[in-house]
Amino acid sequence: MAKPKYKRVVLKLSGEALAGAKGFGLDHQVVSDVAQEVKEIYNLGVEVGIVVGGGNIWRGVSGSEMGIDRATADYMGMLATVINALALQDALEKIGVDTRVQSSIEMRAVAEPYIRRRAIRHLEKRRVVIFAGGTGSPYFSTDTTAALRAAEIGAEVILMAKRVDGVYDSDPLKNPGARKFGELSYIDVLNQGLGVMDSTAASLCMDNNIPLLVFGISTSGNIKRAVVGESIGTFIGREHNATKSG
User: What pLDDT is stored for residue 241 in this prediction?
Assistant: 47
User: What pLDDT is stored for residue 39 in this prediction?
Assistant: 97
> Measured between alpha carbons, how far is 24 from 37 in angstroms, rounded to an integer?
22
77 close to 136: Cβ distance less than 8 angstroms = no
User: What pLDDT is stored for residue 163 in this prediction?
Assistant: 81
81-98: pLDDT as tens digits:
999 999 999 999 999 999
Is 75 within the bounds of a domain?
yes
Q: Beta strands 47-52 and 128-132: pairing type?
A: parallel
Is 163 within the bounds of a domain?
yes
Split into its structural domains, the chain has a count of 1
User: What pLDDT is stored for residue 40 in this prediction?
Assistant: 96
User: What pLDDT is stored for residue 245 in this prediction?
Assistant: 55
49 close to 149: Cβ distance less than 8 angstroms = yes
148-176: pLDDT as tens digits:
999 999 999 999 998 888 888 888 878 88
Is 2 within the bounds of a domain?
no
11 close to 223: Cβ distance less than 8 angstroms = yes
Question: 76: domain range?
Answer: 8-245
User: What residue ranges of the chain have pLDDT lower than 50?
Assistant: 241-242
Is 134 within the bounds of a domain?
yes
Is 15 within the bounds of a domain?
yes
CATH number, domain containing residue 140: 3.40.1160.10
Is 3 within the bounds of a domain?
no
pTM of the model: 0.91
Is 218 within the bounds of a domain?
yes
User: What pLDDT is stored for residue 210 in this prediction?
Assistant: 95
